[in-house]
Structure 1
Amino acid sequence: MNIQIFGTTKCFDTKKAQRYFKERNIKVQFINLKEKSMSKGELTAVMQAVGGVDKLINPKAKDKDTLLLITYIADEDKFEKLLENQQILLTPIVRNGKQATAGYQPDIWKNWK
């Protein structure tokens, strides 16, 4: 397994995800979204794996203005706006090759090979 965790150091669910993989002796690569944003290709792959751009948006994000904007703009514009405003991503985003999840999803991770 080649696990990447995208999140922030202050996110409680990101910490839980890191602990989940550490307890199972699975090596992870942590990418702090405050220091390095996801590339367009990475975000596209994750969006396709989780089932659409709306599944990547954190409804409890602190940036309420951006959250409202992305919620109500045309679907074809949402991805670009999300790419520019990654602070409203639902974290952790966990990738394993072509598979990915947004949010804390241990029920899905346990089935990954």
Structure 2
Amino acid sequence: MKERPPSKGELRRFVEKFGAPALLDKDGPRYRALGLHVSGDSPQRVLARAETEPRLLRTPLVRCGHHVAIGHAPAEWQAWIDATKGGP
């Protein structure tokens, strides 16, 4: 994310599946440093800000084909790979 933040289209895929609030790292230092924990902004507005402040997002944001996941979920990622390969 430091080298290339997610594009608006990429973020939209995650929002469609999980909703905007699920993408925000509300416990993260950047979220608190910007005062977003008390600002009352809508999740959609904060997510728009995340396009230029990717540290507001929960990580990892993982995609594989049409699959998307938020957070550490190696079993889910492996299932995607297995399905792609025609595995178990």
Length-normalised TM-score, structure 1 = 0.58
Which residue of 2 is the match for residue 60 of structure 1? 27
Return the structure number with greater relative CO, CA threshold 8 A, min gap 6. 1
Which residue of 1 is the match for residue 63 of structure 2? 95
Give me the CA root mean square deviation. 2.3
Q: Which runs of 4+ in 1 moved over 3 A?
A: none
- Kept in 2: contact 1:82–1:88 (CA 8 A): yes
* Secondary structure at 2:25 match in 1: coil
2: CA distance between counterparts of 1:111 and 1:71?
39
Which residue of 2 is the match for residue 81 of structure 1? 49
Which residue of 2 is the match for residue 43 of structure 1? 11
* Secondary structure at 1:95 match in 2: strand
Q: Structure 1: which 5+ runs fail to align?
A: 1-32
Q: Structure 2: which 5+ runs fail to align?
A: 84-88
Larger fraction in strand: 1
Q: Pick the structure with greater CA Rg.
A: 2
Deviation digits for residues 49-100 of structure 1 (CA, Å, limit 9, x no counterpart): 3x11111111331211336258720244233122222112111111011211
Q: Could you tell which deviates more after superposition, 71-80 or 53-62?
A: 71-80
How many positions carry a matched residue from both structures? 80
